Structure 1
Amino acid sequence: MFDPAAADLRLGIVGAGAMGGGIAQVAISAGVDVILFDQNAEAAAKTRDAVFARLDKRVTNGKASPEEVAAAKACLRLGESLQDFADRQVVIEAIIEDLEIKRGLFRELEGIVAADCVLASNTSSLPIGAIARVCERRERIAGLHFFNPVPVMRLVEVIRGPDSAPKVVEALRGLGSRLGRTPVEVPDSPGFLVNLGGRAYTTEGLAVVQEGVATPAQVDAIMRDGFGFRMGPFELMDLTGMDVNFPVTRLVHESFFHDPRLRSTTLHRSLFESGRLGRKTNHGHYVYRDGKPEVPSADAAVGDKPARKLVLFEADEHLRAFAGELGADLLEEDDGSSPILAAPLGEDCTELARRSGIDPTRLIAIDLLPDVSARITLMGAPNVDPEVRQAVIDLLGQKRKVTAIADSLGFVAQRILSMVGNLGCEMAQIGLAPPEDIDTAMKLGLNYPKGPLEIVEHLGCRQVFTILERMQALTGDDRYRPSLWLRRRAALNLPAGYRPSV
């Protein structure tokens, strides 16, 4: 078994694409002796030159000394064939995501490398057990999934295959740490951790748009301004490309026997099948010109006729405090003409009016779950009076941007955040990783501002459970069924990440 801290550690990398080149860069920067091989020798040479250019840029930017970069460059050489891996202690495969091609490579490597050489796959979604199935020594095979761009992304998933020896997994964890990544150990499960956990953010955004609730630009703005996501779900999908995120979403959905919580939309499939892949084709959810998206405004037009009086419906302290700062008179009784302001959880205006009998034409709902200092989301029933809605927009828009959406159970942010948190709870429930590792992986792997269980804790277990429970009941769709992990912690008023001591 190799020692990940050894000064003379010898690593082989198969595949000189973006991932292989990135892994090579962080490895040689850590003083690891690397052989990089690709069937396309010209592509391998270009990758080597690109790696060296990035290292030289570090010197120019004052992030590394010339001596450090020279030492790193001396650690990398190109292989002429797989036979050059005969002396390697660990080999990482970073080739095309095709099961049979990967199997063929691993079988070939077994006939070349030493008996104690560890073989790792950088696959993002294919089962490690399925790759290792054709090999003689399955115990030395595991996954080591880096994220693109490797030099920037600090996470690496260490995938424990069905037959992976504990010492192999531990050695790969050590290698990940030596390469400057944060290793998170995950069992061999569809999508592993990040590619599973990342489904909720994009698929619920897609559901919002397909239902006609909001536009991609509105959803993206709400998630950026309301909860600090670096990118909205549609910006993110366009960046990764529908040719990447749709197949992974479909694979994960099918692998979990079509769990509706992982379901995508016909909109997603249509973009994929029509070749509207995102930035790489200049057309996805947005149109791109000269690399920049043409993004429609997410802001409602704010006029100069704000509502002077408001009636608060089912007001808690939060709604009262918010409304009290708007400058309108808050009426103790309904005067029959003023806007009625509500802040529901998991409900829409239609349901509020149905169960309470209040006038839907004057009912306006606002989402107070996310941060509303920069932007607030507003909605009304299908028959809301346009003048009433505009008066509330004019009032709210005096201090912040307003996004006006169609009537929606759970608005936008409530839906997406609750689904992200619920999926994180489900991953904890099925034992993919401890809650803290789930949160770490999602923050490092997808740049989330908080991990999914941290999101649940921030919003409140009971509130998230209430949103999902109501949405499941009102839609009849098990897409919104709460995880048992969430249900139990909400019922017992426990922290979202609570684990019983054993």
Structure 2
Amino acid sequence: MTASDRATSQPEDRTPESRPVQDRVPAPAALSVAVIGTGTMGQGIAQVALLAGHHVYLHDAAPGRAKEAVGDITARLDRLVEKGRLTSGARHQARSRLVPVTSLGALFDCGLVIEAVTEQLAVKQDLFRELEKTVSDECLLATNTSSLSVTAIAGALRVPGRFVGMHFFNPAPLLPLVEIVSGYATDEAAASRAYDIARAWGKTPVRSADTPGFIVNRVARPFYAEAFRLYEERAADPATIDAVLRECGGFKMGPFELTDLIGQDVNEAVTRSVWESFFQDPKFTPSLAQQRLVQSGRLGRKSGQGWFSYEEGAARPEPLTEPPADAPRTVIVHGDLGPAKALVGLARQAGIEVEAEDDAEPHIELPGGGLLFPTDGLPVGAYESEDVLVFDWSFDYAAATRIALAAGPRAGQRARSEAAGFFQALGKKVTYIPDVPGMIVARTIAMLIDLAADAVAREVASQEDTDTAMRLGVNYPVRLLDWAADAGELTVARVLRNLHEYHPTGRYGPTPGLIGRTDPLEYRDLR
């Protein structure tokens, strides 16, 4: 009988008396782990624990589902062997440690139980109440919830101090981040134990307080919300907004294509949950356009239609892109362009003569008199000069392959053409958008940084853990707060203050966390 056959033949219902002798042999990592809920996340977590050397028990309330999950996980292990990422011997050893069980009573001697069932508070509370009747008081209980309160789930327990959030990201075997979430009653020893386990599994754990959305789903809301808001304001179409955030902002995917991949219903539900949990704070207001999309059944890739069509043969819409224009031979750079100072070297490399002047607000003067400013959150129409244009932010102007521009109402065609030609000479595609405050990337970045600073100030997480979570959890191109420190938090606050002037709802007002990172006198004097 092979190791695989032996595992399959083991009794599913385990009791202290009936558990086979071979089951009592400690796994390499000693700790026995149970995963309850065998959907995509549950299977992924089980695979991670299994390959870390643990004896893993699978349980699901649906009859037969745990056995099916064993087959699914086994197939994944086989694919790893085929790809040369796992030896056949390691595969067979791992498979021998994977056991489906039909009752919670079979989990009596587990040292860690991770729940990944439906996102309903009552369901999770009932589950853990039943578990407490079976496992020892030393067993660490964990939830993989992404949207519910760890404190609220633990409130149903007799021993809430050993309860913690272990929020993995999908797909769990591939993504390194795990948010370790402490509820109000969580003992420090329990949180530290969960942290150490995740790290031993090869993950990068970060510590978070129990706040709506934890770190990632709290800080990341503006990435989606600002794009949807721009769409509602008719600043650009989804394909163009996605392209600007990818090619100018440096994000791996645009918010429209990403939410189509996640599922519009899933993304909208998380947004709504965070908003409601924050007592309808305007910074987290959901999108009416996305709600309508969900109500129409256009849920993204899984339904064949979301923001984009995924039907066979459907053409992918192209972003708005300016036709080629002549590059200016010379430009004058006034002041310090700050985060955009890389444009000076890029222009010279492109053969454009650059003259530097230190006597004015940072901008680029074009040969025809056009003035090209990095956006500060104001609409271009608020500038006093005539031929004014603004360009969007980028985390890395040298790497950016597209730049968004907006022209003021008094900007002439020559200024528009020279501005486009300037960036095209630097190897960038150019997209003109209407005159909307904050443009696309700048208002998105500013809002992300604002919420990251707010999370740190409220001690949701440390700055190190916040920046790490956003880099690893959602693959952002930079560490947000480190970038803000280099660019200047006052620059970020200025964009938000100016946005707030045009949208005085509270959505864009800088948080005390961000304001506290600026010089009080300089902040007071912001326009």
Residue from 28, 31, 37 that aligns with 2:53: 31
Tell whether 2:83 aligns with 1:73.
Answer: no
- Once the two structures are superposed, residues 347-393 of structure 1 have per-residue CA deviations (whole angstroms, 9 ceiling, x without a partner) of 221111xxx2x22xx43222355434421111113565557534543
Q: Is 2:448 the partner of 1:448?
A: no
State the match for 1:375 in structure 2.
402
Q: Find the partner of 1:300 among 318, 321, 328.
A: 321
Distance 1:159 1:217, change over 3 A: same
Which of 222, 226, 248 in structure 2 is aligned with 1:226? 248
Match of 1:183 in 2: 205
Q: Which moved more, 1:452-461 or 1:414-423?
A: 452-461
Moved more, 432-441 or 203-212: 203-212
SS at 2:507 equivalent: helix
> What is the rounded CA distance, in whole Å, between the counterparts of 2:32 and 2:345 in structure 1?
63
SS where residue 180 of structure 1 aligns?
Answer: coil
For residues 122 and 390 of structure 1, do their structure 2 counterparts lie closer, same or farther at Cα, with a shift above 3 Å needed? same
- 2:466 aligned residue (397, 415, 438): 438
State how 1:97-136 maps to structure 2 within 5 Å: 97-136=119-158
Contact 2:107–2:135 at 8 Å: present in 1 too? yes
- In structure 1, distance between residues paired with 2:453 and 2:28: 38
C-alpha separation in 2, matches of 1:369 and 1:446: 18
Aligned ranges for residues 235-314 of structure 1 at < 5 Å? Answer: 235-290=257-312, 294-304=315-325
Corresponding position: 1:8 with 2:30: yes
Normalised by the size of structure 2, how large is the TM-score?
Answer: 0.84
Closer, same or farther: CA 247–61 of 1 in aligned 2, 3 Å? same
**What is the identity, as a one-letter code, of the residue corresponding to 1:91?**
V
SS in 2 for 1:431: coil
Task: State the one-letter code of the partner of 1:135.
Answer: L
Q: Aligned pair 1:341/2:372, yes or no?
A: yes
Q: Give the Cα separation in 2 of the matches to 1:75 and 1:331.
A: 68
SS at match of 2:248: helix
Bigger shift: residues 159-168 or 379-388 = 379-388
Q: Compared with structure 1, are the counterparts of its residues 300 and 271 closer, same or farther at alpha carbon in structure 2 (3 Å cutoff)?
A: same
Contact 1:228 1:449 in 2 (8 A): yes
Change over 3 Å in CA distance of 1:14–1:287 after alignment to 2: same
List aligned pairs for 1:394-473, cutoff 5 A. Answer: 394-398=421-425, 399-473=427-501
Distance of 1:212 and 1:201 partners within structure 2: 17
1:294–1:273 Cα change, 3 Å: same
User: 1:105 deviation in Å?
Assistant: 1.0
- CA shift for structure 1 position 19: 0.9
1:369/1:105 Cα in 2 relative to 1: closer, same or farther (>3 Å)?
Answer: closer
Q: Report the secondary structure of 1:13's partner residue.
A: strand
- Measured against aligned partners, the alpha-carbon deviations of 1:387-406 in whole angstroms (never above 9, x if no partner) come to 75345434533432011111
Number of matched pairs: 484
1:96 CA drift (Å) = 0.3
| Structure 1 vs Structure 2 CA RMSD | 3.0
CA distance in 2, matches of 1:473, 1:379: 19
- The answer for the alignment partner of 1:485 in structure 2 is 513
Cα pair 2:331 2:352 within 8 Å, conserved: no
* Offset, 1:73: 0.9
Mapped to 2, the partners of 1:308 and 1:320 lie a distance apart of: 13
CA distance in 2, matches of 1:404, 1:95: 46
SS at match of 1:91: strand
Name the CA distance, whole Å, in 2 between partners of 1:330 and 1:294.
45
2:163 aligns with one of 138, 141, 159: 141
Establish whether residue 351 from structure 1 lines up as the match of residue 382 from structure 2: yes
In 2, the alpha carbon distance for the partners of 1:57 and 1:44 equals 20
Farther-moved stretch of structure 1 (434-443 vs 305-314) = 305-314
1:474 is matched with which residue? 502
Q: 1:28 to 1:483 in 2, by over 3 A?
A: same
* Cα contact 2:177–2:473 (8 A) shared by 1: yes
Q: Deviations over 1:291-350 (max 9, x none)?
A: x98432224231456667879888858477777767489999x99975443333212211
* Alignment partner of 1:192 is 2:223: no
Q: Distance in 1 between matches of 2:336 and 2:201?
A: 53
Give distance in 2, aligned partners of 1:52 and 1:221.
39
The answer to whether the Cα contact below 8 Å between 2:235 and 2:433 also exists between their aligned partners in 1 is yes
Deviations 1:108-138 (A, max 9, x none): 1122222322221111111112112222222
Q: What's the offset of the Cα at 1:201?
A: 1.1
1:5–1:178 contact (8 Å) kept in structure 2: no
Aligned-partner SS, 1:227? coil
User: Which residue is equivalent to 1:497?
Assistant: none
Distance 1:283 1:328 in 2: 49
Cα 1:293–1:123 change in 2 (3 A) is farther
AA at the equivalent of 1:154: P
AA of the residue aligned to 2:449: G
Q: Structure 1's 409 and 315: CA in aligned 2 closer, same or farther, altered over 3 A? A: farther
Checking the alignment, whether the CA contact within 8 Å between 1:12 and 1:90 is kept in structure 2 is yes
Kindly report which structure 2 residues correspond to 1:158-173, keeping only aligned pairs within 5 A, or say none. 158-173=180-195
Q: Which stretch shows the higher mean deviation, 384-393 or 412-421?
A: 384-393
Contact 1:299 1:401 in 2 (8 A): no
Alignment check: 8 A CA contact 2:322 2:429 kept: no
SS in 2 for 1:36: strand
Q: Deviations over 1:70-89 (max 9, x none)?
A: 11111100002112112222
Offset from partner CA, 1:189-246 (integer Å, 9 cap, x none): 1111111111121111111211111222222222222232111122221111111111
Give, in angstroms, the shift of residue 172 of structure 1.
1.2
Alignment-derived partner of residue 389 in structure 1 = 416
CA distance in 2, matches of 1:214, 1:314: 31
Shift of 1:30: 0.8
Aligned-pair distance for 1:150? 0.5
Code of the aligned partner of 1:19: M
Match of 1:365 among 370, 390, 408: 390
How far apart, in 1, do the equivalents of 2:76 and 2:292 lie? 37
* Residue range with higher mean Cα deviation, 416-425 or 50-59: 50-59
* Matched position secondary structure for 2:137: coil
Q: Which stretch shifts more, 47-56 or 436-445?
A: 47-56
